[in-house]
């Protein structure tokens, strides 16, 4: 029998999606499942984007330019100017979601065996992208006690080797909701200049900042034009995950020229997705005000509920729509599966993502889960009540 590749064997399963069969089985048994495992917002996509697809009149859906429609890229330039990010259309490559943008980035700047430093916990699919590109993730631990703040500069210095090519951050962070400050970004600037590294920033949650906090982009850092690569997406901003439109942005011409060849090899990003994404750029600012206010309430609901549970703790996130919570459990993988297979409270249960999948270091995250607060406040309150009841009877409870 033919054998699959070593890369295929090493490719990690998604901790966000691997429990789906157990959730489906629970639903078949008539159990209501509160889905807090995945960053799929329940917020409506802006009507202007839906309408653009409805009004599509062309007689065929053709390829776009490999870098994306020029009309979309030029319109994005105006969006970024409003965020004090000054770029040109020929510094943007439209990709099939931020996922493909990250793959283009890794393949363009790193060779097999090279290393990227990422503060952990981090978005689980970064491991998958790294495996795909044949590179190694070097994790640096950020602690729940600090709210998952940027690790000290000394930790980065210890992790840097001759194979280190880049540092990757997500800001605001998935899975922790941590929002990096301007001072923390300046620390990263110091490191990448000193060691001549790339700084990759996944900023897809830019609009989701709470408590009056402001988002600071790596593109705001002076003197880093050749070092920074910005990853962005419309998925969360406009609640349109399924259109699969992201971007890779760099002012480094050599990086751009390498990445566009990867973009050409896959032909083009989704044409209809770009039409929706371009239209979404005209979304009224009131939409974001309402969405932000809603997520602010949801954040508070989760934060307050978790910290009321005996033995549980989570820091207050300042961005995105996730929290990593510490629970009094022996093993988060076992616990999250147990919730779906063996537990219900009033015929309801909760689906969460085990935090083990958001760490690259084996053994970390065993008592932590990631919660996506993408449901309405009423459902979140019900889900948190189910979680509290579950922890009272879970066989592997540690307190």
Is 36 in the same domain as 79? no
Query: What's the residue count for the chain?
Result: 399
Report residue 171 CA to chain centroid gap: 9
Query: Residue 305 maps to which CATH number?
Result: 3.90.1150.10
On the question of pLDDT at 17 being above 80, the answer is no
Is 377 in the same domain as 260? no
pLDDT more than 90, % of the chain: 96
Is 181 in the same domain as 33? no
Phi-psi bin for 347: left (phi > 0), alpha (psi -120 to 50), beta? left
Q: Tell whether pTM > 0.85.
A: yes
- In 3D, which of 349, 333, 342 has the Cα closest to residue 384? 349
Is 30 in the same domain as 70? no
In a domain, 210, yes or no: yes
Q: Would you state the structure tokens that stand for residue 381, as one six-digit string?
A: 């309150």
> CA 148 to CA 141: how far, in whole Å?
9
Is 250 in the same domain as 270? yes
Is 242 in the same domain as 328? no
pLDDT tens track for 261-273:
999 999 999 999 9
pLDDT tens track for 337-353:
999 999 999 999 999 99
Q: Residues 6 or more apart from 131 whose CB is under 8 A from it?
A: 7, 10, 11, 12
Is 271 in the same domain as 291? no
Q: How many domains, in total, are found in the chain?
A: 2
Is 63 in the same domain as 208? yes
Residue where a domain terminates, one of 234, 264, 280: 280
Is 248 in the same domain as 319? no
pLDDT at 14: 78
Q: Would you state the structure tokens that stand for residue 217, as one six-digit string?
A: 């982009």
Task: Provide mean pLDDT across the span 304-326.
Answer: 98
Give the Cβ contact number of residue 93 at 10 Å. Answer: 26
pLDDT tens track for 165-174:
999 999 999 9
Host domain of residue 344: 6-44+286-393
In a domain, 308, yes or no: yes
In a domain, 398, yes or no: no
On the question of pLDDT at 379 being above 80, the answer is yes
Residue written as token pair 């194979």: 163
Is 274 in the same domain as 306? no
pLDDT at 40: 87
Distances from the Cα of 270 to the Cαs of 96, 262, 265, 374, in angstroms? 7, 15, 14, 26
Distances from the Cα of 346 to the Cαs of 68, 383, 388, in angstroms? 50, 11, 13
Is 380 in the same domain as 294? yes
On the question of pLDDT at 201 being above 90, the answer is yes
In a domain, 62, yes or no: yes
In this prediction, residue 13 has a pLDDT band, given cuts at 50, 70 and 90, of confident
Query: Residue 100 maps to which CATH number?
Result: 3.40.640.10
Instruction: Cis check for the bond before 112: say yes or no (omega within 30 of 0).
Output: no
In a domain, 96, yes or no: yes
In a domain, 1, yes or no: no
Give the Cβ contact number of residue 4 at 10 Å. Answer: 8
On the question of pLDDT at 198 being above 80, the answer is yes
In this prediction, residue 187 has a pLDDT band, given cuts at 50, 70 and 90, of very high
> CA 359 to CA 351: how far, in whole Å?
19
> CA 199 to CA 170: how far, in whole Å?
11
Residue where a domain terminates, one of 222, 255, 280: 280
Q: Give all strands (DSSP E) within the chain, no chain letters.
A: 32-35, 92-95, 115-120, 136-141, 164-170, 198-202, 228-233, 246-250, 322-326, 348-351, 353-354, 368-372
pLDDT more than 70, % of the chain: 99
Q: Would you state the structure tokens that stand for residue 258, as one six-digit string?
A: 């390498």
pLDDT tens track for 65-84:
999 999 999 999 999 999 99
Residue where a domain terminates, one of 252, 280, 308: 280
pLDDT tens track for 122-144:
999 999 999 999 999 999 999 99
pLDDT at 399: 86
In a domain, 360, yes or no: yes
Is 30 in the same domain as 79? no
């Amino acid at each position: 029998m033919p054998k699959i590749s070593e890369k295929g064997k090493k490719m990690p399963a998604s901790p966000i999606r691997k429990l789906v069969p157990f959730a489906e089985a629970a639903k078949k048994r008539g159990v209501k499942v509160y889905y807090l495992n995945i960053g799929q917002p329940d917020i409506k996509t802006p009507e202007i984007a839906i309408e653009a697809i409805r009004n599509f009149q062309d007689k065929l859906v053709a390829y776009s330019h490999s870098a994306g429609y020029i009309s979309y890229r030029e319109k994005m330039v105006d969006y970024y100017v409003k965020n004090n990010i000054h770029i040109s259309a020929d510094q943007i490559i439209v990709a099939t979601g931020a996922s493909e943008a990250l793959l283009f980035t890794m393949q363009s700047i790193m060779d097999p065996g090279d290393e990227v430093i990422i503060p952990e916990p981090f978005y689980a699919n970064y491991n998958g992208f790294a495996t795909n590109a044949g590179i190694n993730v070097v994790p640096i631990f950020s602690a729940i006690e600090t709210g998952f703040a940027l690790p000290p500069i000394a930790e980065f210095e210890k992790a840097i080797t001759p194979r280190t090519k880049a540092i990757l951050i997500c800001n605001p962070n998935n899975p922790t909701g941590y929002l990096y400050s301007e001072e923390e970004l300046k620390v990263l600037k110091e490191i990448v200049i000193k060691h001549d590294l790339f700084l990759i920033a996944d900023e897809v949650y830019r609009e989701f900042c709470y408590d009056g906090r402001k988002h600071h982009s790596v593109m705001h850092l002076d003197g880093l034009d050749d070092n920074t690569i910005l990853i962005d997406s419309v998925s969360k901003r406009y609640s349109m995950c399924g259109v699969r439109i992201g971007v890779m942005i760099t002012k480094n011409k050599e990086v751009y020229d390498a990445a566009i060849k990867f973009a050409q090899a896959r032909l083009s990003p989704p044409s209809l997705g770009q039409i929706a994404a371009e239209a979404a750029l005209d979304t009224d600012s009131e939409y974001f005000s309402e969405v932000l206010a809603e997520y602010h309430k949801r954040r508070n609901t989760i934060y307050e509920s978790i910290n009321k549970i005996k033995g549980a703790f989570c820091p207050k996130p300042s961005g995105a729509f996730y929290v990593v919570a510490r629970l009094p459990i022996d093993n988060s993988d076992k616990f999250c599966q147990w919730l779906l297979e063996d537990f219900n409270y009033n015929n309801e249960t909760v689906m969460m993502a085990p935090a083990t999948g958001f760490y690259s270091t084996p053994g970390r995250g065993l008592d932590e889960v990631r919660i996506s607060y993408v449901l309405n406040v009423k459902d979140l309150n019900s889900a948190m009540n189910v979680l509290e009841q579950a922890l009272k009877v879970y066989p592997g409870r540690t307190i």
